[in-house]
Structure 1
Amino acid sequence: MSKVVVVTGAGAGVGRATVAEFARHGYDVALLSRDKGRLDHAAADLKASYGVRGLGIQTDVADADAVEAAASLAERELGPIDVWVNVAMATVFAPVSKLTAQEFERGTKVTYLGQVHGTMAALSRMRTRNRGTIVNVGSALGYRSVPLQSIYCGAKFAVRGFTDALRSEIIHDGLDVHLTTVDLPAVNTPQFDWALNKMGKKAQPVAPIYEPEVAARAIFFAATHRRREVWVGFPTVKAILANRIAPGLIDRYLASAGYKGQLTDEPLAPDAPANLFEPVSGDYGAHGRFDSRSRTTSWEMFTNRHRNAFLAVTGVAILGGISVLIGRKREK
Structure 2
Amino acid sequence: MRHGRVVVVTGASGGVGRATARAFAERGARVALLARGREGLAAAADEVQRAGGEVLVVSVDMADAKAVDDAAQQVVDAFGHIDVWVNNAFAGVFAPFTEITPDEFRRVTEVTYLGYVFGTRAALRHMLPRDRGTVVQVGSALAYRGIPLQSAYCGAKHAIQGFNESLRCELLHARSGVRTTMVQLPAVNTPQFDWVLNRMPGRARPVAPVYQPEVAARAVVHAGSHGRRREYWVGGSTVATLLANAVVPGVLDRYLGRTGFDAQQDEGAHDGPGNLWVPADGPHGRDHGAHGRFDSESETGSWQDWLSRNRGRVGLMAAAGGVGAAVTAGLRRRG
- TM-score clears 0.5: yes
Q: How does 1:1-332 map to 2 (within 5 A)?
A: 1-47=3-49, 49-225=50-226, 226-269=228-271, 272-281=272-281, 282-314=286-318
**C-alpha distance 118-321 of structure 1, shift in aligned 2 (>3 A):** same
2:316 and 2:146 mapped to 1: Cα distance?
34
Distance 1:176 1:115 in 2: 20
- Counterpart of 2:188, as a letter, is V
- Give distance in 2, aligned partners of 1:294 and 1:167: 33
Once residues 158 and 324 of structure 2 are traced to their aligned partners in structure 1, the CA distance between those partners, rounded to angstroms, is: 40
Letter in 1 for 2:269: P
Query: Secondary structure of 1:6's match?
Result: strand
- Is 1:6–1:29's contact at 8 Å kept on the other side of the alignment? yes
TM-score (norm 2): 0.92
State the alpha-carbon separation in 2 of the partners of residues 70 and 241 from structure 1. 38
Query: Matched residues in 2 for 1:316 and 1:250: separation?
Result: 39
Instruction: Work out the CA distance in 2 between the residues paired with 1:275 and 1:25.
Output: 31
Q: Measure how far apart 1:280 and its partner are.
A: 1.1
Alignment TM-score, normalising by the size of structure 1 = 0.93
Amino acid at match of 2:274: A
Per-residue deviation, 1:3: 1.4
User: Matched residues in 1 for 2:44 and 2:249: separation?
Assistant: 42
Mean Cα deviation higher: 141-150 or 310-319:
310-319
2: CA distance, partners of 1:232 / 1:319: 30
Runs of 5+ in structure 2 lacking a partner? 327-335
Q: Which amino acid aligns with 1:122?
A: A
Q: 1:96 to 1:119 in 2, by over 3 A?
A: same
The alpha-carbon deviation at position 51 of structure 1 amounts to 2.7
How many aligned positions are there? 320
Instruction: Check conservation: 2:131, 2:178, Cα contact below 8 A.
Output: yes
* C-alpha contact (below 8 Å) 1:22/1:29 kept by paired residues: yes
Identity %, equivalent residues: 51
Q: Give 3-state SS (helix, strand or coil) of 1:267's partner.
A: coil
> Residues 126-158 of structure 1, C-alpha deviation per residue, up to 9 Å, x if partnerless?
000000111001100011110000000000000
1:92, CA displacement in angstroms?
A: 1.1
Distance 2:172 2:114 in 1: 22
Q: CA RMSD in A?
A: 1.8
* In structure 1, C-alpha distance between the alignment counterparts of 2:150 and 2:137, rounded to whole Å: 20
Secondary structure of the residue that 1:31 maps to in structure 2?
strand
Offset, 1:44: 3.0
